[in-house]
């Protein structure tokens, strides 16, 4: 039996979470280093998965399959395609930076009520989320996927509600109330989506007799399994609803701004750059592969919702007073682009959407983590409380600018290529949708440049005049992300070579081919 590499990749952070949580409170520094070492070891395993994966080989590789609940046809089945490999690498890459960025975020906090934060619990919860996200990308059994899709809500709830941002203009009591509200809202929205999905998972078992993604897809392709049209559509909607909440897609997005505002900056990155990617990934893996006809039936409505997300999220980002809420609404707009690319049903759109998941994770991590460093120095999230930071802390301002320019998809930085592919792929089949979506780019430039102008330029406010520049630990966090943004902006081929074969197979699942150009090339 070959080494279970996929299981090991997800099990390592899970075991690390348990050990980190058991570290005595008096040894919180040891807990931090343990969590960091576990995350680096997980990254090494993820790189091994990346190296061993053959983009031109079988669709699902490094597969594992073991009987679990025989009476209900549940098997512990894992396997990865190119899309999953790219997102596993992204997740494993970001977690060490998240841990380093949050190095001091959970240190003991004393207030009038003498409330303490368990440092080891904070890092244990981050590792637990990593483990559940990784196995969600690896699972090819629908039931196994569902368990971890829902289970990751528990550690995320405690990260938002128990370890929220300390910067609050109305004091600790108000901050605690707001954190609790944001955590409960996050949990309720996602639980409702998960319960609806559970009904669809049960319905899928009634129709197919098992939960194996590969077996069901093969049976559908061969014609041995037939779903009635209405049945397929209802099952699709049950799955898609849960994924649209997680993504998040308008109008199911309202939990995200609250969660990102009240969470610490590293946890906010964990939410939008890691956890939310499970939703868009699952649309590609489960919605399109299990319910191809229903996916095509729902495409016009989903494209309209995606377009609303793009414009609505960007418009609300323009009017935000809070830095973290601005980034949250910008992410809603970006997820609109990702979902639009998925359901454009073109190879350019789906390749761009997958590349966008990776690039958005890196760019949002860079911008939000630098914003977190800024907020921790000033003690405020309000844009109006800043001004002239670039004179006091030029390196901080410079990295903030690069993260912002990546967010608006400046050519030469990674998100530009993915956004361009999404728009080209959408325009090829739905030109009106593609044209309107370009307004999201204009609005992105507006909210990003206005944010930079108001916080970094102009007269130096007295409160920021003595602001220290980025420290060594913070530079270690930010510098690699900026290097990746530039590298993938100039040379995205390493990622596209991995994901393109998987995208072609997904296009085949829904029986779609790219539309022919309306103008023939000159001979």
Query: If we measure between CA atoms, which residue out of 154, 182, 158 comes closest to residue 168?
Result: 182
pLDDT at 486: 94
pLDDT at 136: 93
**List of residues 6+ apart from 179 with CB closer than 8 A:** 160, 161, 162, 164, 165, 262
pLDDT at 523: 55
CA distance 136 to 133: 5
Query: If we measure between CA atoms, which residue out of 153, 150, 157 comes closest to residue 180?
Result: 157
Provide the strand spans (E) within 269-316: none
* Omega prior to 251 cis, within 30 of 0: yes
Mapped onto helix, strand or coil, the DSSP state of residue 98 is helix
Q: How many CB atoms lie within 10 A of CB 427?
A: 19
Instruction: Please give the structure tokens belonging to residue 65.
Output: 């399959």
Q: How many CB atoms lie within 10 A of CB 333?
A: 25
Q: How many CB atoms lie within 10 A of CB 2?
A: 7
CA distance 463 to 380: 11
CA distance 148 to 182: 22
C-alpha dist (Å) from residue 422 to 304, 337, 354, 411: 15, 7, 10, 15
**List of residues 6+ apart from 43 with CB closer than 8 A:** 92, 93, 95, 96
Instruction: Please give the structure tokens belonging to residue 188.
Output: 């309720």
CA distance 455 to 448: 11
Query: If we measure between CA atoms, which residue out of 346, 336, 376, 385 comes closest to residue 515?
Result: 346
Instruction: Please give the structure tokens belonging to residue 246.
Output: 């997680």
Instruction: Encode the chain (523 residues) as per-residue pLDDT tens digits.
Output: 478 999 999 999 999 999 998 888 778 888 899 999 999 999 999 999 999 999 888 888 998 888 888 777 788 899 999 999 999 999 999 999 999 998 887 776 554 444 445 788 889 999 999 999 999 999 999 999 999 999 999 999 989 888 876 655 555 556 677 888 888 898 999 999 999 999 999 998 888 888 888 888 888 777 777 888 899 899 999 999 999 999 889 898 888 998 888 888 899 999 999 998 999 999 998 999 888 889 999 999 999 999 999 999 999 999 888 889 999 999 999 999 999 999 998 989 999 999 999 999 999 999 999 998 988 888 888 888 888 888 888 999 999 999 999 988 889 999 999 999 999 999 988 999 989 999 888 898 999 999 999 988 888 888 878 888 889 999 999 999 999 999 999 999 999 999 999 888 888 887 777 787 666 655 5
Phi-psi region of 22 (alpha: psi -120 to 50; beta: other; left: phi over 0): alpha
Burial of 184 (0-12, 13-18, 19+ CB in 10 A): middle
pLDDT at 173: 59
pLDDT at 116: 47
CB 16 within 8 A of CB 38: yes
Question: Taking every pair of C-alpha atoms in the chain, what is the biggest distance, in angstroms?
Answer: 79
Phi and psi, residue 223, nearest 5°: 90, 0
Distance spanning both ends of the chain, measured CA to CA? 55
CA distance 184 to 161: 8
Q: Which residue has the tokens 């990308």?
A: 137
Q: Which residues pair with 382 in a beta bridge?
A: 322
Instruction: Please give the structure tokens belonging to residue 383.
Output: 């844009």
pLDDT at 379: 81
CA distance 247 to 336: 9
CB 283 within 8 A of CB 303: no
Report how far Cα 341 is from the mean position of its chain's Cα atoms.
Answer: 16
Instruction: Please give the structure tokens belonging to residue 10.
Output: 């997800």
CB 21 within 8 A of CB 120: yes
CB 139 within 8 A of CB 77: yes
pLDDT at 103: 86
Instruction: Please give the structure tokens belonging to residue 488.
Output: 């993938």
C-alpha dist (Å) from residue 249 to 25, 290, 309: 40, 21, 6
Q: Which residue has the tokens 């022919």?
A: 516
CA distance 104 to 122: 10
Vertex 175: Cα angle to 171 and 178 (nearest 5): 145
Q: Which residue has the tokens 């900056």?
A: 265
**List of residues 6+ apart from 309 with CB closer than 8 A:** 249, 250, 253, 332, 333, 335, 336, 339
Vertex 84: Cα angle to 221 and 207 (nearest 5): 35
pTM of the model: 0.90
Would you say how long the chain is, in residues? 523
Q: Where are the domains of the chain?
A: 296-514
């Amino acid at each position: 039996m070959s080494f279970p590499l996929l299981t090991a990749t997800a099990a390592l952070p899970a075991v690390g979470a348990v050990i980190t949580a058991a570290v005595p409170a008096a040894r919180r520094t040891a807990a931090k280093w343990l969590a960091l070492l576990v995350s680096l070891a997980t990254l090494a395993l993820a790189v091994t998965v990346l190296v061993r994966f053959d983009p031109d080989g079988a669709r699902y590789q490094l597969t594992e399959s073991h009987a679990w609940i025989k009476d209900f046809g549940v098997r512990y089945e894992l396997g990865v395609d190119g899309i999953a490999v790219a997102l596993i690498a992204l997740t494993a890459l970001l977690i060490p930076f998240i841990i380093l960025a949050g190095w001091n975020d959970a240190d003991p906090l004393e207030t009038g009520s003498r409330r303490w934060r368990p440092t080891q619990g904070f890092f244990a919860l981050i590792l637990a989320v990593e483990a559940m996200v990784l196995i969600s990308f690896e699972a090819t059994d629908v039931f196994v996927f569902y368990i971890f899709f829902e289970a990751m809500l528990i550690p995320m709830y405690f990260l938002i509600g128990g370890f929220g941002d300390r910067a609050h203009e109305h004091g600790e009591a108000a901050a605690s109330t707001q954190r609790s509200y944001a955590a409960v809202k996050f949990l309720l929205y996602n639980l409702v989506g998960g319960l609806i999905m559970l009904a669809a998972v049960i319905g899928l078992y009634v129709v197919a007799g098992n939960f194996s993604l590969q077996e069901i897809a093969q049976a559908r392709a061969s014609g041995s399994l037939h779903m009635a049209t209405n049945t397929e559509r209802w099952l699709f909607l049950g799955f898609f609803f849960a994924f649209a909440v997680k993504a998040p897609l308008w109008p199911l997005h309202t939990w995200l701004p609250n969660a990102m505002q009240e969470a610490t900056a590293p946890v906010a990155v964990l939410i939008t750059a890691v956890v939310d990617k499970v939703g868009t990934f699952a649309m590609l893996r489960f919605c399109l592969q299990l319910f191809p006809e229903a996916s095509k039936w729902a495409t016009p409505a989903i494209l309209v919702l995606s377009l609303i997300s793009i414009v609505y999220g960007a418009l609300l980002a323009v009017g935000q007073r809070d830095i973290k809420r601005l980034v949250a609404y910008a992410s809603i707009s970006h997820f609109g682009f990702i979902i639009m690319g998925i359901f454009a049903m073109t190879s350019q759109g789906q390749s761009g959407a997958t590349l966008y998941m990776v690039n958005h994770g890196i760019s949002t991590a860079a911008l939000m983590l630098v914003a977190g460093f800024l907020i921790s120095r000033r003690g405020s999230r309000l844009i109006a409380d800043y001004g002239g930071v670039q004179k006091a802390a030029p390196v901080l301002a410079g990295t903030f600018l690069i993260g912002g320019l990546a967010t608006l998809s400046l050519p030469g930085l990674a998100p530009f290529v993915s956004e361009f592919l999404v728009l080209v792929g959408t325009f090829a089949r739905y030109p009106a949708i593609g044209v309107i979506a370009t307004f999201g780019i204009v609005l992105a430039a507006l909210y990003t440049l206005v944010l930079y102008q108001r916080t970094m330029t102009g007269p130096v406010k007295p409160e920021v005049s003595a602001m220290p520049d980025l420290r060594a630990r913070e530079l270690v966090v930010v510098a690699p992300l900026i290097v990746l943004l530039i590298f993938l902006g100039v040379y995205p081929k390493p990622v596209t070579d991995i994901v393109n074969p998987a995208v072609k197979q997904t296009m085949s699942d829904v029986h779609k081919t790219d539309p022919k150009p309306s103008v023939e090339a000159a001979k």
